[in-house]
Amino acid sequence: MLKFYNYDIVFAEIPDEVSLAINITNCPNRCKGCHSLWLWKDIGEPLTEESLTLIVNEYLENITCVCFMGGDNSPKEVNVLAEFVKKKFNKKTAWYSGKEEISTEVSLLNFDYIKTGAYKEECGPLKEKTTNQRLYKIEGGKIAGDLTYRFWKK
Ligand code: SF4
């Protein structure tokens, strides 16, 4: 079962959106140089439709997007919760995955944005032009564009 450590309102993770970012634990990716080692542990509260409803209701009027930060240990559950958010709250959904490819266990119809790629020290984070990570815009169940450049300084 997915669990979350905490959540926050963030502005930088998804361009042009005010996102409720939910930090999911038990990350299986083990990226060298990870800055969030606590997310490797199987800790936190269960992330269910019930707990998600309580969190989203807290910020309903202020957010435009719900962003699942992690969840590569169970993409199927991320998929179900993203669909739930869309149907129940009519908010956009985003997923920060650390895998190189988008999991085949999710339906792109349930997402507006998906970030792929593990953190690689030698490539740097999303804000570096050398990054291996990508943020994709999803529309109508298909990748509609690569928004990674929006993180780069002009
Ligand atoms: S995906 Fe994120 S949380 Fe997981 S190990 Fe990599 S950098 Fe850390």
Tens of pLDDT, residues 95-117? 999 999 999 999 999 999 999 99
On average, the pLDDT of the chain sits at 97
Q: Is the pLDDT of residue 154 over 90?
A: no
Cα dist. 58→4, 52, 55, 61, 80 in Å? 16, 10, 5, 8, 21
| pLDDT tens-place string over residues 121-148 | 999 999 999 999 999 999 999 999 999 9
Spell out the domains of the chain, with CATH numbers in brackets: 3-151 (3.20.20.70)
- Ligand 1, atom 8, lies closest to the CA of 34
Q: Ligand 1 center to residue 120 CA distance, Å?
A: 10
Ligand 1 centroid to Cα of residue 25, in Å, is: 10
pLDDT at residue 153 in the model: 83
CB atoms within 10 A of CB 87: 9
Query: Residues 76-85: what's their mean pLDDT?
Result: 98
Record the tokens describing residue 121, joined without a space. Answer: 């020290």
* Element spanning 145, H or E: strand 142-146
